C-alpha cells in the first residue's frame, strides 16, 4: 500500500517502471535488430544491434555519433525493419513524438497482417485523432491494394481480404467524417469510397 501511494505520487517513476515491466515482457524485444552504417567520407564500416522498440522508431533508430575514424557526420545506413507489434503500435499511438517514419506512415502500416491491430487502435478513443486518421488511411490503402484491377489480374489481390475490410470499414463510416482524411489520396478514394458507399468529394 505504501508503495502504491509512493508510485502514484511519482508519475514519471511509475511510467518508467511500467515501461521496464512491459519491455521485459516483450518477446519481440528480445530479438536484436542489426544496423549497419558506412562513412561517406572514409568508408569506415560499423555495425550495432538494437532492440525491437529502438529499431521501430525514427527517433530511436538514429545513429548520429560522428565517424570514429574521420569525424564525418555523413553516412549511408541500413537497418533491419521490425514487424509491427501491439507494443510498438501502442508506443506510437500514445506518444505524439514517436513516429515510425517521418512521412507516409500510413503506407508503411498498410500490410494485410496488421489489419486487426490497426482496427483495435482505430477504435480506441483514447488514441489521439491525428494517429487514428493515419490508421484509417492505412486500412484504406490495404483495401485499395486488394480492389485494384491490375492487382486482381496479376493475382496480388485477395477477395477474402477486400470483403473482410469492407465489412470492417462499413461499420466505421462515421470515422471518415470524424477524422482527418488528408492521407487518403484521390486515387485511393476513387477506388475505395464507392465500394463503401462514400462520396468522394469529402
Q: Which residues bind Zn ion (CB under 5 A)?
A: 39, 41-42, 44, 67, 69-70, 72
Give 66 or 128: the residue with its C-beta nearer to Zn ion.
66
- Tell me if 98 sits within 8 A of 92, measured CB to CB: yes
Buried-exposed string 77-89: b where 16+ CB fall within 10 A, e elsewhere: eebeebebbebbb
Give 70 or 83: the residue with its C-beta nearer to Zn ion.
70
CA distance 23 to 90: 12
For residue 110, which of 85, 78, 83, 135 has the smallest C-alpha distance?
135
Give 41 or 51: the residue with its C-beta nearer to Zn ion.
41
**Beta-bridge partner residues of 34:** 49
Going through the chain in order, the beta strands assigned E by DSSP cover 33-39, 45-50, 75-79
Residue written as cell 477474402?
Answer: 160
Amino acid at each position: 500500500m505504501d508503495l502504491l501511494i509512493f508510485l502514484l505520487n511519482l508519475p514519471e517513476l511509475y511510467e518508467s517502471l511500467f515501461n521496464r515491466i512491459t519491455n521485459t515482457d516483450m518477446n519481440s524485444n528480445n530479438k536484436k535488430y542489426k544496423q549497419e552504417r558506412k562513412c561517406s567520407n572514409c568508408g569506415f564500416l560499423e555495425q550495432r544491434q538494437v532492440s525491437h522498440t529502438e529499431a521501430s522508431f525514427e527517433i530511436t533508430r538514429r545513429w548520429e555519433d560522428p565517424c570514429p575514424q574521420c569525424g564525418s557526420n555523413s553516412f549511408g545506413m541500413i537497418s533491419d525493419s521490425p514487424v509491427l507489434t501491439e507494443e510498438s503500435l501502442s508506443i506510437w499511438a500514445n506518444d505524439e513524438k514517436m513516429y515510425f517514419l517521418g512521412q507516409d506512415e500510413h503506407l508503411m502500416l498498410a500490410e494485410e497482417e496488421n489489419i486487426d491491430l490497426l482496427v483495435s487502435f482505430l477504435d480506441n478513443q483514447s488514441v489521439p485523432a491525428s494517429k487514428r486518421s493515419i490508421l484509417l488511411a492505412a486500412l484504406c490503402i490495404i483495401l485499395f491494394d486488394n480492389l485494384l484491377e491490375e492487382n486482381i489480374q496479376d493475382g496480388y489481390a485477395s477477395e477474402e481480404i477486400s470483403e473482410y475490410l469492407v465489412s470492417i470499414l462499413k461499420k466505421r463510416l462515421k470515422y471518415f467524417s470524424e477524422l482527418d482524411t488528408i492521407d487518403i489520396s484521390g486515387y485511393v478514394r476513387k477506388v475505395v469510397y464507392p465500394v463503401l458507399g462514400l462520396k468522394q468529394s469529402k
